[in-house]
Amino acid sequence: MVVHATPAPPRHPNIVILLADDWGFSDVGSFGAEIATPNIDALAMAGMRFSNFHVAGSCSPTRAMLQTGVMNHRNGLGNMPETIPDAHRGKPGYDTVMNFRVVTVAQLLKAAGYRTYLTGKWHLGSDARRLPHARGYDRAYSLADAGADNFEQRPIEGMYATAAWTENGKPATLPRDYYSSHFVVQKMIDYIEADRASGKPFLASVNFLANHIPVQAPDSDIARYAAMYKDGWTALREARAKRAAALGIMPPGAPMVTMATTPDWAKLDAEERAAAIRVMQAYGGMATAMDREIGRLVAHLKATGDYENTIFVFLSDNGPEPTDPFNRTINRLFLNSKYDTSTANIGRRGSFSAIGPGWASATASPLSGYKFTASEGGLRVPLIIAWPGHPQIRAGTINDGFAHVTDILPTLLDLAGVTGQQGRWEGRPVESIVGRSLAPMLAGAEGSVHGDTPLGYELSGNAALFRGDYKLVRNLAPTGDGTWRLFNLKADPGETNDLSAAMPDRFAAMRADYANYAKANGVLEMPAGYTADEQINRYAFERQGKPRLIRFATWAGGIGIAIGGLLWWRRRRRRV
């Protein structure tokens, strides 16, 4: 009698999510950048690049969709705390935090026997019940805010009172040698190794602060770009578009527009150019520093034997940040009083800088628009999925089929062989996953898993409806005029040729599709005169500016009373 040994069940793959902050579509070398990103590019060559992948125009809605596979108005992020108008607060879908009607990828994988870890930016809720440790992560070292300093435990001055870092739900103190990209990777390595003896697979969600404002990098990384960017943002935008086409990321000869907010490089004076060149050098250095840390994590997983059985997902949470924090006199005076804003210090410890709309137009190249907008530059970002050596993924290839951030969770569950929730979790009803697994596309299927099914989107009044190769889009002021337009993204990814008049039937049908989406998701119209930029400034004033003014007024009042009392006492003495 022959006894056959029972084969061991296949081990679930490890999963590593690498989430960049505010990276533009062409900020990765393998998507057209001049920035050195060799480790991300190596993952691209080991996996698949998605050149038609879409997220939200701002961070929290994307992060909530990535965590849950549920559209942002249903997961609570119809808008963010910093950008929601007062009229929308408390309305269904406008919680400004990830609600409890959704289940996270960490909860699903933990139930399937995974260890679950998160490091870095969270921005999905700051109270004890909403931090990552309470949403399925075994270990988490996270920042509850939109951003913070990269060299010290310091908030974005004027926006937040503190840098709200926590570990496993409790306030945490950063180390003295802290640099954000290095720290979030090292902490992740520590977490993975702390529980290695369990033998369980792991989910590692690494959420970088790079390249969110403030743009900061180690001196050596900034120095790497010392000879670059002297020709300005328009030249860089054109160069990146050519490289993207040469790589097969974009169709050759795709037309581009020059955004109205892009300043004329030739009209800048010498000092303005010097500062602009320096901030882009720091931006490149910040991206390269992040890439180096990704390489360190990959090297560690190779050394431990985990690399071949790990699924890697790299993406950005939205397009590049165009906001110029110095565009108001009051902001400029305040920031100059809090930071060393000299040109020589841009990007270094104690600095505060941002690339602004000019460089943002280049980092989004060849697309139109950037963060906050519903244009492609705001919504289309690089996506790389790799499972090294696994035959299910066609390594080194590019897929131009439409994909969406809600697709990531079902894709990971599918590849890992884990069953997702079906509208119920722990005995209660929850929002169903709406994303679709990208596994067929990873295996080489042509087109999109969404086919001709419409997919809607809205944030701060900027809205879009995707259907097949077409996109219906509307942007409110200041980046748009509120008019709906229609584009064929396959032929015109730069959104240069409005087809609404030439294709009236399609235009009308997609308008109806959007109306259905908005009704089903409880989308609210924005109050008259609303802009996200104005709302952010109002939020900062309410949270930090007003309390400072009250404290100053109280202090000044106290001083005034004291001086008045002294003068009264002196007059009385003279009379005596």
Q: Which of 476, 497, 521 represents a domain boundary (last residue)?
A: 521
Please, are residues 412 and 15 in contact by the beta-carbon 8 Å criterion?
yes
Say what the pLDDT of residue 224 is: 98
Q: Who's near 388: CB < 8 A, 6+ residues apart?
A: 46, 47, 307, 308, 310, 312, 395
Q: For the chain, what is the radius of gyration of the CA atoms? A: 25
* Residue type at 133 in one-letter notation: H
Q: Taking 90 as the threshold, does the pLDDT of residue 568 lie above it?
A: no
Tell me if 87 is assigned to some domain: no
Please, are residues 339 and 157 in contact by the beta-carbon 8 Å criterion?
yes
More confidently predicted of 536 and 149 = 149
Same-domain pairing of 404 and 474: no
> Is 123 tagged catalytic?
yes
**Structural domain span for residue 483:** 455-521
Q: For residue 383, give the H/E element and its range.
A: strand 383-386
Tell me if 302 is assigned to some domain: yes
Same-domain pairing of 225 and 347: yes
Q: Taking 80 as the threshold, does the pLDDT of residue 524 lie above it?
A: yes
Active-site residue, from 12, 73, 88, 123:
123
Average pLDDT, integer, range 427-456: 97
Same-domain pairing of 243 and 378: yes
Using the structure block, give the residue that is written with the tokens 């720290």.
183
Tell me if 178 is assigned to some domain: no
Fill in the DSSP letter of residue 148. B
Tell me if 96 is assigned to some domain: no
Q: Taking 80 as the threshold, does the pLDDT of residue 111 lie above it?
A: yes
Q: For 403-428, write each residue's pLDDT tens digit.
A: 999 999 999 999 999 998 889 999 99
Q: Taking 80 as the threshold, does the pLDDT of residue 549 lie above it?
A: no
Same-domain pairing of 344 and 462: no
Beta bridge partners of 428: 425
Q: Taking 90 as the threshold, does the pLDDT of residue 7 lie above it?
A: no
Average pLDDT, integer, range 19-30: 98
- For the record, the structure tokens of 397 come out as 């290839």
Please, are residues 189 and 115 in contact by the beta-carbon 8 Å criterion?
no
Using the structure block, give the residue that is written with the tokens 């080991």.
46
Q: For residue 119, give the H/E element and its range.
A: strand 115-121
- Give the C-alpha separation, 419 to 220, whole Å: 46
8 falls in which pLDDT band (50, 70, 90)? very low
Same-domain pairing of 438 and 471: no
Say what the pLDDT of residue 573 is: 59
- Give the C-alpha separation, 194 to 70, whole Å: 32
User: What pairing do the DSSP bridges indicate for beta strands 14-20 and 383-386?
Assistant: unpaired
Q: Taking 50 as the threshold, does the pLDDT of residue 4 lie above it?
A: no
Q: Who's near 252: CB < 8 A, 6+ residues apart?
A: 245
Q: Taking 60 as the threshold, does the pLDDT of residue 562 lie above it?
A: no
Same-domain pairing of 240 and 362: yes
Tell me if 190 is assigned to some domain: yes
User: What pairing do the DSSP bridges indicate for beta strands 397-399 and 383-386?
Assistant: unpaired
Tell me if 562 is assigned to some domain: no
- Tell me the three-class secondary structure of 247-312, residue by residue: HCCCCCCCCCCCCCCCCCHHHCCHHHHHHHHHHHHHHHHHHHHHHHHHHHHHHHHHHCCCHHHEEE
Same-domain pairing of 306 and 193: yes
Q: Taking 50 as the threshold, does the pLDDT of residue 367 lie above it?
A: yes
Q: How many domains does the chain have?
A: 2
- Give the C-alpha separation, 194 to 74, whole Å: 36
Q: For 46-66, write each residue's pLDDT tens digit.
A: 999 999 999 999 999 999 999
> Is 390 tagged catalytic?
no
Tell me if 71 is assigned to some domain: no
574 falls in which pLDDT band (50, 70, 90)? low
Average pLDDT, integer, range 208-227: 98
Please, are residues 139 and 168 in contact by the beta-carbon 8 Å criterion?
yes
Query: ω into residue 320 within 30 of 0, thus cis?
Result: no
- Give the C-alpha separation, 141 to 166, whole Å: 6
Q: Taking 50 as the threshold, does the pLDDT of residue 551 lie above it?
A: no
Same-domain pairing of 414 and 515: no
Using the structure block, give the residue that is written with the tokens 């890439």.
291
Same-domain pairing of 438 and 461: no
Residue 221 main-chain phi, psi, to 5 deg: -75, -35
Q: For 473-499, write each residue's pLDDT tens digit.
A: 999 998 899 999 999 999 999 999 999
Q: For 500-523, write each residue's pLDDT tens digit.
A: 999 999 999 999 999 999 999 999
Active-site residue, from 12, 59, 73, 404:
59
542 falls in which pLDDT band (50, 70, 90)? confident
Q: Residue 215 sits in a domain of what CATH number?
A: 3.40.720.10
- Give the C-alpha separation, 107 to 101, whole Å: 13
Give which of 374, 372, 432, 376 is closest to 406, Cα–Cα.
432
Tell me if 532 is assigned to some domain: no
Helix (H, G, I), strand (E, B) or coil at 485: strand
More confidently predicted of 362 and 530 = 362
Q: Taking 80 as the threshold, does the pLDDT of residue 320 lie above it?
A: yes
Average pLDDT, integer, range 154-179: 96
532 falls in which pLDDT band (50, 70, 90)? confident
Q: Which of 505, 521, 537 represents a domain boundary (last residue)?
A: 521
Q: For 126-158, write each residue's pLDDT tens digit.
A: 999 999 999 999 999 999 999 999 999 999 999
Same-domain pairing of 243 and 371: yes
Same-domain pairing of 468 and 391: no
Say what the pLDDT of residue 556 is: 44
Same-domain pairing of 314 and 384: yes
- Give the C-alpha separation, 315 to 556, whole Å: 50
As a residue count, the chain comes to 576
